[in-house]
Structure 1
Amino acid sequence: MPQDPVSRRAAVRSHWAAISALASLLFAVTPQPAIAIDAIVLEVGEVEHGAIKALDAVARLDLPSDTHPQVAISVATLVLPEPIGRLRTVKLRCRRPIIAEPRFACRDGRIAARGGPTGAFAARVQGEFRSDTGAAFLRGAGLKIASATLDWRAHLRAGNWSIEGNARGAHLIALRQFASRWYALPSNLTVDGALSASFTARGGAALQHAEVTTRLGDINFTNDEGTLVGEALAGELTARYQPGATGAAVHLRLTGSGGQTLIGPVLLNLQTNPLDLRVDGILADKVLRISQLDLSQRDLLTAHGTGSVALSGDVPLTTAHLTIEQLQFPAAYTSFLQIGLAATDFGDLTTSGTLSGSATIVDNAPQALSLKLTDVDLIDRRDRVRMNDLLGTIEWRDSALGEVPESALSWASGGAYGLSGGAAQIQFRAFANNISLTRPARLPVFDGAVAIDSFALGNIGSDKLAIDFEAEIEPISMPLICAAFGWPRFAGTLSGRIPALTFRDNELRVTGDVEAAVFDGQVVASNLRLQDPFGRWPRLFADVRARDLDLAAVTNTFAFGSITGKLEADVLRLELFAWSPVAFDARLETPSGDRSNKRISAKAVGNLSNIGGGGGGVVAALQSGFLRFFDDFGYRKLGIKCQLRDAVCLMSGIEPARSGGYYIVKGRGIPRIDIIGNAGRVDWPRLVSQISAGMAAENVEVR
């Protein structure tokens, strides 16, 4: 008897309709050996169940006499819910089917299709279905999604289902391209690295539980600006989702065990300071309410918090309260501060100590910050700034409308730019971008101090920065200041008053006079203005007047040559550009009525002569004749004037000389020596170099 296939074609639109039809037909013919059938073919034009539709489906059972039966199912078009979508040329082949009503199973299957998110896919499958209970399971392996290989197991029993699986060998470059149709990363962000994942989910009519764990290895990313960077990152992310009557319980845990990441000015070294972040909350109405947040990084940070994240808008809005149990230095400095301070004198500090406190965030904006400092040391490696045993509290609020608690800091010792001082404390209030002292403060400097009456900073971080400052300088020994700044050593003290100092519109202005006592005299600066003080090209304006200076102290300090007597000086309409003089009207001369002993050394005579343009003749006279037997000379009066404009100094002296030129020194006594200048216009850079050379030269040889 010839063996003919049995064919059927139908349109089926009921649950399990196609499966039941095929199973019934197979069951009817399989156990009857008297009928010689080598294949059974079932053709279904359309199968539809909910959002699933199959078109032009063909199921074929091959019954060879010499080997195991085989089942092949093909579907021309299979429409599934998104994100899978439409599949074409779906083929399922089972080499060893089990057909034993009510049990139908496949132990060795292959499935392949074109279309869907991956463009094409193929996998090994095993499955079982019971027509009496509707129970089923499906196991798959080797499914390629982008660069990942997916294995999974799914079960269906009594209306409940579960699925679990894992993905391995995934690469971020391929996954990014695969996911771009649903979510695109910023085009200026480059990512690379490998990951693997495992997942589980279960439910019935609705999802009851889902969990995904992703393991990250050698993750690297960067944006074009270099403000977002990750290098060799390693870690693990677990997300758990469990719907409930009042919302879905959400658990997140992120661990980082290797690599470094830069986020703006924050640099985290996960190799040195491993990360462990845990978040528990409830997700309802597109709002995640966080009941517990725990954050820790070894030797860096321990913190806890609560909050909420509104996910309905274009930008998630976060409200949170964070308790900082401990923030440890030096890791806190290198992680959170050093990059932001890199361009300042605080960019290379050795630090120690701890911080604790709390922070409040409302709608993505900080609202309050409270910090407690314990035994904090801040020491610049190049000895520019130093603060030891810093203690106290810092209270900051986003607005002055409510109560702003007072902050207080104290330290055992400190220093800056060579200046050093002892213990001090300050009280202040900080709100928004403003800071102001709440009471006067005294900052020790060597054997004196700066007594601050008032100090306030406003609009910090903006181009509208404002400063108000008023203080008094208690006497500080000048030898200590000179040593700190590397100046020539001279005696005396620095003291004086700094009146109302203000900074507005990028200009520092002093209302009133700045006074200092130096060289046993008084120096007063008035009309003091400094434009662009923090820029590359600051410009200073001032009028400076000095009275009753001791010339011996001045000249001995600067190695100009010894001169005794008194000196008064005016430097009016002074203008400095980038800290170099570009204009002034200067006058230095003996004050009228000076009755002190006035003597001038041979070296000073030579240097003054060089300034006035008559140096060669004077030095020759000092080195010949009877003048060579004198080390110094008496004088009645000395003085010199310079009007600087356009890098040229218009020179004059105390009075015109009869023979032409001008007197710089009018001598007195025997031997008498007069210094007459004849240079009317002098190149300013050349004049500066002449003065510097004269101060560095050896004493003039007069014997």
Structure 2
Amino acid sequence: MCSLPERLRGVVLALTLAASAASQASLDLSFDRLQAPALTLEQVSVSLQSLDRGPARLRIAQARIAGRDLSDLRLDCAEFSLHPEMRCRGGVLRAHGHSPWQLDFSLTGAQRTLKARVQPPGSPPIDIEGALAGAHPHLRLNTRAADLVRLVALDPVLQKAVAAYTPAGRVDIDAQLSDFGAGRSMRIAARLDLQDARFSSADGLRAAEGLALGIEIRARADGARWNGELSADWHAGELLWDAVYLKGGGTALASRFALDSGQLTLSDGALDLAEVGRLSFFADWGRSAAGAPALRSARIDGQAFDLEALNGRFIAPLSAVHGWPALALSGRADMTLSVDAQGPETARLQLHGVALADAAGRWSLDRVDADLPWQREQPTAARAAVAGAHFGRIPLGPFELRAVLSPDRVSMEPVRIPVLDAGLRLNQLEFVQDDGRWRGDLSFDLEPVSMPALSEALGLPRMAGSFAASVPGVRWRDGVLALDGQMLIRVFDGYVAATGLKLVEPFGATPRVLADLQMRYIDLEALTDTVKFGRVTGRLDGDVTGLELLRWRPVAFDARIRSSEGDYPRVISQRAVQNITALGGPGAAAAIQRSFLGFFERFGYRRIGLSCVLRDGVCDMDGLDHKGGGFVLIEGGGVPALSVVGYNRRVDWPELLDRLSRVTGATPVVR
């Protein structure tokens, strides 16, 4: 608001003189236009039935107040007086398209001291007081627990902008306007306190709940430019904005600002995150060619961020909202980011003594020190030193990663990572952005690892021999890891080859694995000695097609194992026969009398064969041949001739695993 112009003050003076001369006379006045800074009134008419405590009516055809247009305004005062002060009691203010407001006011003295109370429908009253004239004109507005929805409805433009978010809540407002009027530098000081504020978009991707937020603004006009300070203290509540989740409590922001019609600049900014650290920032907005606000430049700096607190307050809740795997995180980090009109320009992340782990215990990295710079215009060299790691229960030794970072490419240098008594040779790891999507390529070789050391690390029965693997190529496309060609694993003097291997969302909440496996020439003696099954000599082939794992557990496959072709000793111990019989369940039986088994420690056999088709938690079992309504698991050969026949073809998968644990003395973990 501003001081009354000469013309309007003359009108008030004329009314006052008329009142002193004839207090009971009625009066009608009309004006084509009344103007003051930020105020224009068109076709104004005043009708007074009495100049001393009588009813009065003010009508305005068109009004423009602080850039907002209103039409058909009407103020009716049940009791109006001009002398000794201008006063309206029992006033009702109406405007086209708006509900009526209750209004009482008084205007007195040479400084035009104003006291007013405005009562919007369904909202607490708004008190306005101050001086409209004098050396330092000022106004103060105060309201408590105002309905946020009704306040927003006062501005149709703002109401339209936020309509899709259905805001709600309460707000306290304490605002002061001073030194207004021609030739003065206007000042504003305001504080807003939101309580239990909330909003939600229709798709649920942008929402807030239980917001408690205090905002303070102090500003001074310098011509058309405003300079000032802004601060906000976020006491409580939750905010989800697309992929960003934030939780209040101890979060505070402070910044200087400069604002004019086409530009907003924030400087000396600081964002304090409780127990996490402080972000310093600068930002500058202009207008795009279309007239919309556009970020022109920005810089963010954070030093010694506490990653454990950052994870607890922001990262973990965000992961829970999106169903991402939970992480355990600790250590310190420094970060910088600069942005221009084209987007991110430079960035740098430095890690100091960071420990990073999957909360489910599937992997971990210990004491990571890293320097990860990035520039939009040129490649940068990144490095990370890792003191140790675990993949499941397998420990990894210290290693250092080096990479080249580009805007659309990340290329890792070859590296050897110690694994028990061997090493994992990472030959290629590269990620490339193509059409806005990232794709990756990986290849590695695992040097022969001692099976005794590996089995001990995995908590499995002690195994003999060594374990090695070669993966010529793995592709990452749209959340799917897919094997190029064949992965070869050497174990038990034979090999296992995997083809068609795919891992779908391996780091998600419901990872899936698809593959076909081929086993060839597996040494049965080494295998059965490892699992304490009973001694069996010979060789074994196997095929597993249509293997599907959900959350790393089998849900479907078609598996068949059989004796390998060739000439080799084929002997099975009495204990192995008993265990195979037990695996067959109540329907399985040896083809010779049990009493006869006691006379022999081992037997010859001609073939071994077993199949299982797993669907819906049930294993449909079969063997080499059908015999007497059953299926042959072992075909005898030599003296004595021994065959084992199974009769129970449908077995629950959990029951089969339980049988296996009983005969081997170990609980199987199938992953």
Matched, 1:221 2:198: yes
Q: What do the CA deviations read for 1:198-256 (whole angstroms, capped 9, x no partner)?
A: 22243332773242423324323141554444444333212334333583324322122
The CA distance in 2 between the partners of 1:93 and 1:114, in whole Å, is 14
Q: What do the CA deviations read for 1:31-59 (whole angstroms, capped 9, x no partner)?
A: xxxxxx66344332446423324214327
- Deviation of residue 488 (structure 1)? 4.3
Which residue is equivalent to 2:74? 88
The CA distance in 1 between the partners of 2:158 and 2:18, in whole Å, is 43
Match among 321, 328, 334 for residue 356 of structure 1: 334
The CA distance in 1 between the partners of 2:244 and 2:585, in whole Å, is 61
1:674 maps to a residue whose letter is A
Q: What do the CA deviations read for 1:420-454 (whole angstroms, capped 9, x no partner)?
A: 223222122344575331x1223333343322111
Which residue is equivalent to 2:609? 640
Which residue is equivalent to 1:58? 48
- Deviation of residue 182 (structure 1)? 4.8
Which residue is equivalent to 1:113? 92
Q: What do the CA deviations read for 1:15-35 (whole angstroms, capped 9, x no partner)?
A: 4443233334456x4xxxxxx
Which residue is equivalent to 1:375? 353
1:87 maps to a residue whose letter is L
Tell me if structure 2 keeps the 8 A contact 1:476–1:494: yes
- Deviation of residue 676 (structure 1)? 4.1
Structure index of larger Rg: 1
SS of the residue corresponding to residue 115 of structure 2 reads strand
Tell me if structure 1 keeps the 8 A contact 2:572–2:605: no
SS of the residue corresponding to residue 267 of structure 2 reads strand
Match among 383, 398, 402 for residue 423 of structure 1: 398
Matched, 1:630 2:600: yes
Which residue is equivalent to 1:652? 624
1:540 maps to a residue whose letter is L
Note the residue ranges of structure 2 that are not aligned, 5 or more in a row.
1-5, 666-671
The CA distance in 2 between the partners of 1:86 and 1:167, in whole Å, is 26
C-alpha distance 601-325 of structure 1, shift in aligned 2 (>3 A): same
Tell me if structure 1 keeps the 8 A contact 2:116–2:128: yes
Tell me if structure 2 keeps the 8 A contact 1:163–1:202: no
- Deviation of residue 305 (structure 1)? 2.0
Which residue is equivalent to 1:5? none
C-alpha distance 676-281 of structure 1, shift in aligned 2 (>3 A): same
1:569 maps to a residue whose letter is D
Which residue is equivalent to 2:127? 151
Which residue is equivalent to 1:253? 231
Tell me if structure 1 keeps the 8 A contact 2:583–2:660: no
Matched, 1:137 2:112: yes
TM-score when scaled to structure 2?
0.81
The CA distance in 1 between the partners of 2:271 and 2:157, in whole Å, is 34
Matched, 1:414 2:384: no
Q: How does 1:522-533 map to 2 (within 5 A)?
A: 522-525=494-497, 527-530=499-502, 532=504
The CA distance in 2 between the partners of 1:685 and 1:383, in whole Å, is 32
1:142 maps to a residue whose letter is R
- Deviation of residue 299 (structure 1)? 1.5
Tell me if structure 2 keeps the 8 A contact 1:537–1:577: no
Which residue is equivalent to 2:258? 282
The CA distance in 2 between the partners of 1:524 and 1:293, in whole Å, is 60
C-alpha distance 665-620 of structure 1, shift in aligned 2 (>3 A): closer
The CA distance in 1 between the partners of 2:103 and 2:586, in whole Å, is 101
The CA distance in 1 between the partners of 2:130 and 2:33, in whole Å, is 22
Matched, 1:122 2:103: yes
Which residue is equivalent to 1:696? 662
Tell me if structure 1 keeps the 8 A contact 2:281–2:301: yes
Q: How does 1:188-267 map to 2 (within 5 A)?
A: 188-205=165-182, 208-223=185-200, 224-244=202-222, 247-267=225-245
Tell me if structure 2 keeps the 8 A contact 1:109–1:126: no
Q: What do the CA deviations read for 1:381-433 (whole angstroms, capped 9, x no partner)?
A: 54333222221122345x5xx21212212222222322222322212234457
C-alpha distance 284-172 of structure 1, shift in aligned 2 (>3 A): closer
- Deviation of residue 523 (structure 1)? 0.9
Tell me if structure 2 keeps the 8 A contact 1:509–1:529: yes
Q: What do the CA deviations read for 1:41-85 (whole angstroms, capped 9, x no partner)?
A: 4332446423324214327344xxxxxxx5765435575324454
1:389 maps to a residue whose letter is R
SS of the residue corresponding to residue 220 of structure 1 reads strand
Match among 587, 603, 606 for residue 575 of structure 2: 603
The CA distance in 1 between the partners of 2:321 and 2:50, in whole Å, is 75
2:270 maps to a residue whose letter is D
Matched, 1:454 2:428: yes
2:44 maps to a residue whose letter is A
The CA distance in 2 between the partners of 1:198 and 1:214, in whole Å, is 6
Q: What do the CA deviations read for 1:468-491 (whole angstroms, capped 9, x no partner)?
A: 111121333434544555544423
Q: What do the CA deviations read for 1:254-307 (whole angstroms, capped 9, x no partner)?
A: 122344444445444433xx2221232332342213333222223123122222
C-alpha distance 238-436 of structure 1, shift in aligned 2 (>3 A): same
Q: What do the CA deviations read for 1:119-139 (whole angstroms, capped 9, x no partner)?
A: 22212323224xxxxxx4231
The CA distance in 2 between the partners of 1:436 and 1:277, in whole Å, is 38
Q: How does 1:305-454 map to 2 (within 5 A)?
A: 305-311=281-287, 313=290, 315-318=292-295, 319-342=297-320, 347-363=325-341, 365-397=343-375, 402-432=377-407, 434-437=409-412, 439-454=413-428
C-alpha distance 461-221 of structure 1, shift in aligned 2 (>3 A): farther
C-alpha distance 688-561 of structure 1, shift in aligned 2 (>3 A): farther
The CA distance in 2 between the partners of 1:237 and 1:687, in whole Å, is 61
SS of the residue corresponding to residue 208 of structure 1 reads coil
The CA distance in 2 between the partners of 1:344 and 1:556, in whole Å, is 46
C-alpha distance 140-431 of structure 1, shift in aligned 2 (>3 A): farther
Tell me if structure 2 keeps the 8 A contact 1:411–1:425: yes
Note the residue ranges of structure 1 that are not aligned, 5 or more in a row.
1-12, 30-36, 63-69, 99-104, 130-135
Which residue is equivalent to 2:3? none
The CA distance in 1 between the partners of 2:140 and 2:463, in whole Å, is 84
Which residue is equivalent to 1:674? 641
Match among 28, 33, 37 for residue 43 of structure 1: 28
C-alpha distance 491-515 of structure 1, shift in aligned 2 (>3 A): same
Matched, 1:515 2:488: yes
Tell me if structure 1 keeps the 8 A contact 2:144–2:173: yes
C-alpha distance 243-76 of structure 1, shift in aligned 2 (>3 A): closer
C-alpha distance 197-245 of structure 1, shift in aligned 2 (>3 A): closer
SS of the residue corresponding to residue 358 of structure 1 reads strand
C-alpha distance 584-124 of structure 1, shift in aligned 2 (>3 A): same
The CA distance in 1 between the partners of 2:252 and 2:555, in whole Å, is 55
The CA distance in 1 between the partners of 2:562 and 2:396, in whole Å, is 37
- Deviation of residue 531 (structure 1)? 6.7
- Deviation of residue 321 (structure 1)? 1.4
The CA distance in 2 between the partners of 1:24 and 1:528, in whole Å, is 100
C-alpha distance 113-559 of structure 1, shift in aligned 2 (>3 A): same
1:42 maps to a residue whose letter is L
Tell me if structure 2 keeps the 8 A contact 1:588–1:641: no
Match among 518, 543, 550 for residue 544 of structure 1: 518
Percent identity reads 17
The CA distance in 2 between the partners of 1:650 and 1:698, in whole Å, is 22
SS of the residue corresponding to residue 97 of structure 1 reads coil
2:83 maps to a residue whose letter is P
Which residue is equivalent to 1:102? none
